Homo-oligomer: A and B are copies of this chain.
Amino acid sequence: MAGDGTDQRALQYEQTLMYGRYTQELGVYAKEEAARIREEAAYRRLVTERSRSLDLLEYDKSRCAKCRICTVHCQKFLISRVGEDWIFLILLGLVMALVSWVMDFCIALCLQAQKWMYGGLDSNVVLQYLAWVTYPVVLISFSAGFTHIVAPQAAGSGIPEMKTILRGVVLKEYLTLKTFVAKVIGLTCALGSGMPLGKEGPFVHIASLCAALLSKFMSLFGGIYEDPNLIGIKNESRNIEMLAAACAVGVGCCFAAPIGGVLFSIEVTSTFFAVRNYWRGFFAATFSAFIFRVLAVWNRDEETITALFKTRFRLDFPFDLQELPAFAVIGIASGFGGALFVYLNRLIVQFIRKQKAINKFLMKKRLLYPALVTLLISTLTFPPGFGQFMAGQLTQKESLVTLLDNRTWAKQGIAEEFEYIGHAAAWKHPQANVFITLVIFIVMKFWMSALATTIPVPCGAFMPVFVIGAAFGRLVGESMAAWFPEGIHSDGVVYSIVPGGYAVVGAAALSGAVTHTVSTAVIVFELTGQISHILPIMIAVILANAVAQSLQPSIYDSIIRIKKLPYLPELGWGHHEKYNIRVEDIMVRDVRYITLNCTYRDLHDVLLTERLKTLALVESTESMILLGSIERAQLQALLSQQLGRPRRLEYLRQRAQNERKHSSIVSTPSSEEGNHKASHEVRFQISTEESSFSPTRSVSPKPLKPALKRHSVVERGTEIPSNQDSGIALKSLFCAHPEAAAVEDPDVDDDMTMREIAEWEELQLDEQVNFNNCKIDPAPFQLVERTSLHKTHTIFSLLGLDHAYVTSIGRLIGVVSLRELRKAIEGSVTVKGVKVRPPLASFRDSGTSSSDAEVTELHKLWNRHTNLTLPQDHQPSDSDEKSQ
């Protein structure tokens, strides 16, 4: 044992030295090794290829051989294609279209059931009320309870979380099957209750879940023939791309709006967008929307593929040029309304959080809050009660259809004898005209929606806001129609005003204001199937965005703030003081690192204390020269390899051999065999490139976003040695025939006691780490200590970095992670009271900051004027910097 051990250690030392020589040599060495291994691998592959084809030839030497070879290659081709993007995207689109359609079907059933119950009990108002109220309360409570029990992550919209995930941040349990089930069932129940809740946000999440699960599923088939070297690199980046496409699919199949879906998902989730991935979203969203609508045709709901909320406005003269001010007014008002909605929503959450007593009570009885809110809302919409003044009996979809109606409800200023057909009748009340109904509808739905979206069930805010916007637009349109009963156009021909067009504009503007997006305009076109109002809609949406962005963050950013998700806020040009912050001011100086000559014990300790995804590898504690970074999983694999069962068996075999040698020196062949095996072993330990990814894979077999999860294998150090299976798995990856090398050895059996194992492990831990099998990233991202905060922010958000090392002339002096960066940005911005910065905020900045400065200066001047004293010289910095 002693001799061999020393030999091995000497070898290891030599290798360490080899690595330690210098980084240039390291690179050369790595390249040579890689070339050697490539050749070897190629040779090996050639051999198997040859033997396979020889087999084939032997099996059938007739003319059929040609066909056979073709078949084999076709098969191989097909299997390898399974991993291709477009098959994945088609499947994703198909599945999501089915999910969307089935869910819509179930929701429609639920709503019909409620109507049927309500309608059947029309003899007794109390019973009717009970039915009207109980039904949604039960459904919402079930949804909340189910979500809470199965996967609490499924509650809420999901867009803020997806925004964070697409930024590259780890969010645990957000993309699992459990969450998928909880989200789908919870959402169906929540929407089936008839509450003012939306489907869009959750659908983005569901599509992402679907993509994640599908990707997992497909990796079972495909990827077998893929180059293992590339899987890691490919997967990381590809999964982000796939998730981005999935977000587009989510919106696309929810509204049958492929283009709007792609744009909306980009606007809502991305900061920087690679145009290269654009087609993925379009492809999948189009396919999904297509299937979604085809299902409706097959189900005989529709005659052919058309828009979801088809409008029939006249094409030849959609609107007059002089109506544009009214559209602009809708836009501006929607901007204020959208900001108010976001503010109200946040206020409700914060109010409930602050009231400790309420909060405590609600925490205990989790279902009480949803039930209470539902009770309140459904009581107010009870059609024979207050609901009659706000079209309470209409579902969200019905309201929207009636609001987008191309007929005018009010003529001559008063709600008159217009024939209200079908659902539109709900807007007519004998005592109140249609304006009052609309105003009540808008006001009530506004706070109801803001309140309802705080319920912890899967739900979005897009659709309720959309409906409110449509109602507001309709109100303005009806007013215009009442004001100009003959239309505005002066050239003889009468073109009456179409209030439905105003409703479309209002819907786009308000939803755009709440979500801070422009692409709601496109969604509206696709939803209504008409694009004739494009310019009014664009103008209103842009105005609404300008106003809303200067007042409040978007609903999603607001939720990110409420939930305190780890999202990197935007950094604008407005904040000049940022240029003076440098990386050295924010970096963490106490970096945990590993050295080239560390022992396994050091590794173990570092892994226990440090929780970062990757660890820095430095030359030595003295020089601190950064050599590269190693993934945590790699180190864990190293450690488990060192302490695993195969190595222990090897050790036992060695010992047994030594004992045998000791007892009889005659049996040379056996010893030779053992030596051969040892050298074989060493050879495989040296091999780097080809097998370098295998340890990661064996430890983290999940192909989707392995970085999303932190593996807790080595967390409890003492459990490692019992990790037998993974050890064998490792062995099987390193050697071509694992049984022949380790298990088939009949004269060794694992008869060590626990104490012996512990002792042996202690010995093993004191050995120096052999980094040869380890994949070292030789070029981790580096900053220097004087890199500005602005540059750091740009680099982090462009490259989606998680952390970056700070070096000074090659020496590692610190590390900056997303957390520090976020703190630095938020810290400095909070001073001004602005936290998350929207894209249009140049309006806000210029407004607030300069007016601040103006005010201060005016005050100063006035103080001087009245006091007639000279101002002090020693406080010039603050206000003057602002006025720069």
**Residues of A participating in the B interface, judged by any CB pair closer than 8 Å:** 23-24, 27, 30-31, 34, 38-39, 42-43, 45-46, 49-50, 53, 57, 65, 69-70, 73, 77, 80-81, 84-86, 225-227, 229-230, 233-234, 238, 258-259, 263, 266-267, 270-279, 282-283, 286, 289-290, 293-294, 297, 303-307, 310, 312, 315-321, 489, 491, 518, 521-522, 525-526, 529-532, 534-535, 538-539, 542, 545, 570, 573, 576, 579-580, 582, 584, 625, 778-779, 782-788, 790-791, 794-795, 798-799, 807-811, 839-840, 842-843, 846, 850, 854, 857-858, 861, 864-865, 871, 873, 876-877, 880-881, 884
Interface contacts beyond A46-B873, A306-B316: sample of 16 additional A-B pairs, CB < 8 Å, sorted by A: A27-B785, A69-B861, A84-B842, A225-B884, A230-B576, A263-B263, A271-B274, A272-B273, A272-B274, A279-B839, A282-B518, A304-B320, A306-B317, A307-B531, A778-B786, A808-B810
Tallying the copies of this chain within the complex gives 2
Contact A538 B57 (CB under 8 A): no
In the complex, what residues of B have CB within 8 A of residue A854's CB? 73, 77
Contact B278 A271 (CB under 8 A): no
Q: How far is the CB of A485 from chain B (nearest CB, A)?
A: 19
- Report the separation of the CA atoms of residues A519 and B732 in the bound assembly, to the nearest whole angstrom: 50
- Report the separation of the CA atoms of residues A582 and B24 in the bound assembly, to the nearest whole angstrom: 12
- Report the separation of the CA atoms of residues A34 and B580 in the bound assembly, to the nearest whole angstrom: 9
- Report the separation of the CA atoms of residues A446 and B119 in the bound assembly, to the nearest whole angstrom: 65
Closest to A862 in B: B66
CB-contact partner of A227 in B77, B266, B319, B884, under 8 A: B884
Contact B785 A24 (CB under 8 A): yes
Given A532-B306, A861-B69, A579 and B876 contact (CB-CB distance below 8 Å): no
In the complex, what residues of B have CB within 8 A of residue A307's CB? 531-532
Closest to A873 in B: B43
Contact A881 B272 (CB under 8 A): no
In the complex, what residues of B have CB within 8 A of residue A580's CB? 31, 34
Contact B808 A791 (CB under 8 A): no
Q: Is the interface of A mostly helix, strand, loop or mixed?
A: helix
9 contacts between A and B (CB under 8 A): A65-B865, A73-B854, A73-B857, A277-B839, A282-B538, A779-B788, A798-B798, A798-B799, A810-B811
Closest 5 CB pairs of A and B: A809-B810, A810-B810, A778-B786, A42-B876, A779-B787
Q: How far is the CB of A502 from chain B (nearest CB, A)?
A: 16
- Report the separation of the CA atoms of residues A225 and B883 in the bound assembly, to the nearest whole angstrom: 9
Contact B877 A42 (CB under 8 A): yes
Closest to A290 in B: B535
- Report the separation of the CA atoms of residues A799 and B259 in the bound assembly, to the nearest whole angstrom: 28
Given A570-B276, A876-B39, A306 and B282 contact (CB-CB distance below 8 Å): no
In the complex, what residues of B have CB within 8 A of residue A873's CB? 43, 46
CB-contact partner of A27 in B272, B539, B786, B881, under 8 A: B786
- Report the separation of the CA atoms of residues A369 and B808 in the bound assembly, to the nearest whole angstrom: 61
CB-contact partner of A582 in B27, B305, B531, under 8 A: B27
Given A81-B846, A273-B272, A275-B267, A315 and B318 contact (CB-CB distance below 8 Å): no
Contact B518 A526 (CB under 8 A): no
Contact B534 A229 (CB under 8 A): no
Contact B42 A880 (CB under 8 A): yes
Closest to A54 in B: B864
